[in-house]
């Protein structure tokens, strides 16, 4: 028996259910605000979703479909879609196919069946991902694409919900109206993931303080995660009494009950601006995916029981009881719908596929038209901006001070910049980099967050969805590893999976690297940056001094604002307050503040000195140490130039090759580990570019960084650079 035959037999070859026995007296349609036509349309959406699931598996068997995680048993999420506006942004779980079809049907001119089948077939004509992945997403329908992650979309849904109230408070013209709500669906197994728990905690934390967070969290609870059962009533017990969040539940078999609960959730979220946990109890049919043999972990009796709870059986009985359509007419309707899906499927599988690597990669870092850079503050306006620091203006300053000044200028230039992070408000951050920014721009643009990196980054992604230019801060480099999937799996992939229709531009500021004095250890002296360097499209930039930091930060903001890039701005902690270069009191590492229009262009290196005996290539602390070594080498008649990479991903190879061209020998000083560091890539790239230079490298050891003076045993030193240079 085929899956289609099994479905038709289960729906139409047995008596209709008695809904009064199952649910008790049904409410009137008028009391719910529904019409008979709307009920029929919802059941039609449910049937469409189910038959698409069936046909996807048929196409997979023929080698024409590449995705079989369906919505079977969850189809009443279509009813949730009907209860909300079509411009309420929705971040959808992979079993929310019926929701997505219904959302499309709310917008005239949509072609949900064709779009879904193009996606199943990985066609280049797929209107959202262009065949890169099966995702539920549409720019026209306010559904950002989501891959099959485990709860990683919840932090950005929270961020988007927060951004709606923020837009109203700051008079920002957002992507959605100021009375919008956000929907976010996920499964009962995903509810246990730390990302989900953290995101919900963040929403409750804000709501508890009366901060508007209008999000409806739709937990589609089918009682099982692949093969692991969810404990009975676990979801209800876990989420029904959370402070700051309302709980609403419904029976996912009962269309009318789902609509009732959805409208109640919508009322609370839209009017009260509070998070709502909408718990839809449902059933999973056909296993986890096409490759999942559920009989290996479920008994025949359990599978039969699940089939008996099929929401389509209850929906067909509802149509009959309301006098909308009987069983025989719905069989004919289902058969015609199946034939239509087959016909559309034949069209979809014939459409073009991605043809080459260039087509696959076209939207990793798409190019957008250049934008005019906003004007900087001038005259009295700028004097007011810097009035608190007027005694320092015009004097050389340290790295942290010049980053602070650059942020002052940038936040004035770009009114949509919003900073967010731990302690960045009145305290000014751990190292004073954000000092007094909150005084100038207020707590709506300099946001003190809870201590949760994934929520900070999720907030940034959500803010970007609503037209803000976020600058989230991660206090220490090692802390980002708690939340790296928000960059890797969410921010970095959005343009790729949406064919450039969605973007989440941002500049993520992270304090890190080694060489701290008097404070450190592994979690504060971390020199592992590989996590950023293998992310397609993400830019990693790292300054070494105050002047370059200001120029690079301006270019980072331009890349985010104009080119929609995700930029990681890595700040070397040990150089924040460094004043001297060669000896105490020389103040040679303090810099003048560059004019507000000065930038270091994307892909441009910086060179100190004109020596041709040797080129020393480095960044951050390594550049600082190399400049010290440069003087010692000159005293020994070795004339070196020191090159600051500035851009660590992608590497600025064109500019670098020009900078090292006059030299015969190159020493790469890499303060990160010997294994997995950018010096490995540099060595390879120089060879691939046909470089005739003799090249060596000096790196940190493959070690975690210990506390106190022991840290310097495993990091490059001035003495080590001089020795390696002389040997080279």
337 and 428 share a domain? no
In a domain, 347, yes or no: yes
pLDDT at 520: 65
150 with 258, same domain: the answer is yes
Distances (CA, A) of 577 to 23, 306, 405, 581, 672: 69, 64, 14, 12, 21
What CATH number corresponds to the domain at position 529?
Answer: 3.40.50.970
Q: Cα-flanking dihedrals φ and ψ of residue 46, to 5°?
A: -60, -45
Do residue 349 and residue 385 come from a single domain? no
Helix, strand or coil, per DSSP, at residue 246 = strand
Q: Does some domain include residue 370?
A: no
Same domain, 417 and 513: yes
Closest CA to 255 of 24, 22, 31, 42: 42
Tell me 13's DSSP state.
Answer: S
Residue 349 shares a structural domain with residue 497: no
Burial (Cβ within 10 Å: 0-12, 13-18, ≥19) of residue 243 = exposed
Q: Are residues 271 and 136 in the same domain?
A: yes
Instruction: Examine residue 279 and state whether it is found in any structural domain, yes or no.
Output: yes
Rounded to a whole number of angstroms, the CA Rg of the chain reads 29
Order of strands, sheet of 417-421, starting from the edge strand that comes earlier in the sequence:
446-448, 417-421, 469-474, 506-512, 566-572, 539-541, 647-649
Strand order in the sheet with 614-618: 606-608, 640-644, 614-618, 665-673, 694-700
Q: What pTM, to 2 d.p., does this model score?
A: 0.95
Residues 348 and 397 in one domain: no
Query: How far apart are alpha carbons 82 and 162 in whole angstroms?
Result: 23
**Angstrom distance (rounded) from CA 488 to CA 508:** 13
Rounded Cα–Cα distance for residues 219 and 270 (Å): 19
Tokens 């839809």, residue located: 280
97-105 and 112-120 are packed helices; what angle lies between their axes, rounded to 10 degrees? 140
Residue 596 lies in a domain: no
The CA-based angle 104-105-110, given to 5 degrees, is: 65
Q: How many domains does the chain have?
A: 3
Q: Which two tokens stand for residue 330?
A: 């719905």
Q: Which of 314, 316, 293, 315 is nearest to 303 (CA)?
A: 293
Task: Give CA separation, 275 vs 172, 447, 514, in Å.
Answer: 22, 20, 41
| Any domain includes 322 | yes
Listed residues 575, 595, 619: the one ending a domain = 575
Residue 587: closest CA among 597, 577, 595: 577
- Phi, psi values for residue 150, rounded to 5°: -110, 90
Continuous segment of H or E residues that includes residue 84: none
- CATH number for the domain that contains residue 672: 3.40.50.920
Cβ(420)–Cβ(462) under 8 Å?
A: no
Say which residue the tokens 């996912």 belong to.
252
Report the DSSP beta bridge partners of residue 699: 670
What integer pLDDT is reported at residue 148 of this predicted model? 65
Q: How far apart are CA 360 and CA 604, in angstroms?
A: 27
**Rounded distance between C-alpha atoms, residue 48 and residue 139, angstroms:** 22
d(CA 480, CA 369): 32
Q: Looking at the domain assignment, is residue 595 inside a domain?
A: no
Tokens encoding 208: 């508890």
Helix (H) or strand (E) holding 358: helix 357-361
Whether residue 333 has a cis bond before it, omega within 30° of 0 = no
Q: Are residues 558 and 655 in the same domain?
A: no
One domain, residues 395 and 348: no
- With contact defined as beta carbons under 8 Å apart, do 132 and 496 qualify? yes
In a domain, 189, yes or no: yes
Domain boundary among 520, 552, 575: 575
Helix (H, G, I), strand (E, B) or coil at 693: coil
DSSP run (H or E) holding 715: none
Structure tokens at 605: 């290196």
Burial class (CB in 10 A: 0-12, 13-18, 19+), 688: exposed
The 3-class SS string of 258-308 reads HHHHHHHHHHHHHHHCCCEEEEEECCCCCCCCCCCCHHHCCCHHHHHHHHH
In the numeric block, the tokens 């709500």 are attached to 181
- The last residue of one of the domains, among 353, 369, 388, is 353
3 state DSSP class of 6:
helix
Question: What local confidence, expressed as pLDDT, does residue 519 receive?
Answer: 65
Query: Which residues, 6 or more positions from 404, have their beta carbon under 8 angstroms from its beta carbon?
Result: 432, 433, 434, 435, 436, 437
- What does the block give as tokens for 688? 């691939």
659 in the same domain as 527: no
Q: CB neighbours of 690 closer than 8 A, spacing ≥ 6? A: none
Looking at residue 490, the DSSP 8-state letter turns out to be I
State how far the Cα of 281 lies from the Cα of 222, in Å rounded to an integer.
Answer: 6
pLDDT at res. 149: 66
Q: Residue 314, by phi and psi: left (phi above 0), alpha (psi -120 to 50) or beta?
A: alpha
Asked whether residue 138 is domain-assigned, the answer is yes
- CB contact burial 94-124 (16+ within 10 A = b; e otherwise): bbbbbbbbbbbbeeeebebbbbbbbbbbbbb
Give the bridge partners for 696, in sequence order: 667
If one counts every other C-beta atom within 10 angstroms of the C-beta of residue 402, the result is 26
SS3 564: coil
Quick one: residue 52, left, alpha or beta (phi over 0 = left, psi -120 to 50 = alpha)?
A: alpha
- What's the CA gap between 15 and 317, in Å, rounded? 9
**Do residues 10 and 310 make contact, with C-beta atoms less than 8 angstroms apart?**
yes
> By three-state DSSP, how is residue 249 classified?
strand
Domain identity same for 546 and 614: no
**Alpha-carbon dihedral angle through residues 676, 690, 615, 621, given to the nearest 10 degrees:** -20
234 and 315 within one domain: yes
The bridge status of strand 647-649 relative to strand 539-541 is antiparallel
CA distances from 293 to 188, 296, 298, 299 (A): 20, 6, 9, 11
**What CA–CA distance (Å, rounded) separates 14 from 308?**
11
Cβ neighbour number for residue 664 with a 10 Å cutoff: 12
Domain boundaries, position 624? 606-727
The maximal CA–CA distance of the chain, rounded, in angstroms, is 98
Is-contact 141 153, C-beta < 8 A?
Answer: no
Residue ranges of the chain with pLDDT lower than 50? none
Which letter does DSSP use for residue 602 in this model? T
- Interior angle at CA 328, CA 42 and CA 105, nearest 5: 20
């Amino acid at each position: 028996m085929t899956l289609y035959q099994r479905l038709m037999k289960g729906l139409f070859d047995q008596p209709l259910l008695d809904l009064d026995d199952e649910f008790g007296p049904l409410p009137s349609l008028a009391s719910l605000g529904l019409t008979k036509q709307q009920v029929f349309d919802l059941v039609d959406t449910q049937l469409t979703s189910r038959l698409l699931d069936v046909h996807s598996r048929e196409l997979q068997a023929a080698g024409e479909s590449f995705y079989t995680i369906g919505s079977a048993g969850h189809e009443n999420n279509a009813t949730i879609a009907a209860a909300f506006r079509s411009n309420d942004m929705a971040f959808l779980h992979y079993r929310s196919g019926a929701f997505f079809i219904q959302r499309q049907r709310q917008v005239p001119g949509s072609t949900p069946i064709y779009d879904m089948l193009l996606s199943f077939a990985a066609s280049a004509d797929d209107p959202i991902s262009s065949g890169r992945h099966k995702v539920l997403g549409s720019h026209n329908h306010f559904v950002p694409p989501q891959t099959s992650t485990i709860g990683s979309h919840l932090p950005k849904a929270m961020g988007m919900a927060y951004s709606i109230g923020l837009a109203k408070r700051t008079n920002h013209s957002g992507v959605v109206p100021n009375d919008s709500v956000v929907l976010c669906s996920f499964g009962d197994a995903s509810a246990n993931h730390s990302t989900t728990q953290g995101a919900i905690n963040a929403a409750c934390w804000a709501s508890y303080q009366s901060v508007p967070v209008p999000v409806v969290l739709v937990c589609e609870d089918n009682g099982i995660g692949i093969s692991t059962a969810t404990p009975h009533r676990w979801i209800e017990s876990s989420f029904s009494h959370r402070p700051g969040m309302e709980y609403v539940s419904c029976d996912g078999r009962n269309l009318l009950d789902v609509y009732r609960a959805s409208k109640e959730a919508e009322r609370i979220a839209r009017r009260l601006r509070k998070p709502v946990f909408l718990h839809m109890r449902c059933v999973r049919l056909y296993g986890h995916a096409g490759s999942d043999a559920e009989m290996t972990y479920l008994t025949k009796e359990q599978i039969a029981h699940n089939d008996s709870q099929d929401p389509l059986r209850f929906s067909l009985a509802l149509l009959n009881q309301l006098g909308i359509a009987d069983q025989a007419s719905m069989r004919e309707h289902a058969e015609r719908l199946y034939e239509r899906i087959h016909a559309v499927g034949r069209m979809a599988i014939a459409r073009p596929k991605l043809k080459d690597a260039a087509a696959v990669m076209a939207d990793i870092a798409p190019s957008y038209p250049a934008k005019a850079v906003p004007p900087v503050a001038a005259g009295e306006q700028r004097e007011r901006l810097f009035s608190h620091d007027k005694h320092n203006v015009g004097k050389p300053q340290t790295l942290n001070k010049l980053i602070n000044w650059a942020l002052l200028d940038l936040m004035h230039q770009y009114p949509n910049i919003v900073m967010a992070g731990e302690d960045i408000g009145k305290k000014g951050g751990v190292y004073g980099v954000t000092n007094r920014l909150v005084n100038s721009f207020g707590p709506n643009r300099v946001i003190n967050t809870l201590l949760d990196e994934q929520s900070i980054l999720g907030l940034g992604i959500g803010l970007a969805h609503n037209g803000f230019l976020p600058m989230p801060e991660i206090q220490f480099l090692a802390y980002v590893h708690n939340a790296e999937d928000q960059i890797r799996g969410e921010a970095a992939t959005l343009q790729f999976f949406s064919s450039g229709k969605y973007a989440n531009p941002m500049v993520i500021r992270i304090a890190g690297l080694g060489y701290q004095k008097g404070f450190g250890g592994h979690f504060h002296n971390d020199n592992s940056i590989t996590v950023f360097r293998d992310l397609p499209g993400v830019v990693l930039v790292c300054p070494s001094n105050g002047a370059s930091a200001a120029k690079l930060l301006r270019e980072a903001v331009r890349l985010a604002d104009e080119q929609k890039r995700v930029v990681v701005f890595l700040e070397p902690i040990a150089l924040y307050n460094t004043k001297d270069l060669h000896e105490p009191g020389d103040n040679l590492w303090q810099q003048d503040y560059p004019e507000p229009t000065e930038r270091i262009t994307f892909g441009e290196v910086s060179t100190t000195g004109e020596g041709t005996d040797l080129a020393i290539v480095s960044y951050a602390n390594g550049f600082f140490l190399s400049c010290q070594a440069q003087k010692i080498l000159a005293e020994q008649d070795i004339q070196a130039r020191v090159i600051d990479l500035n851009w660590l991903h992608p590497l600025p190879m064109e500019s670098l090759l020009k900078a090292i061209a006059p030299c015969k020998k190159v020493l790469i000083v890499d303060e990160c580990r010997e294994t997995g560091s950018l010096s490995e890539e540099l060595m390879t790239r120089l060879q691939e570019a046909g470089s005739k230079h003799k090249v060596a490298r000096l790196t940190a050891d493959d070690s975690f960084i210990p506390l106190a003076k022991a840290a310097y045993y495993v990091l490059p030193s001035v003495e080590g650079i001089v020795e390696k240079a002389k040997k080279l």
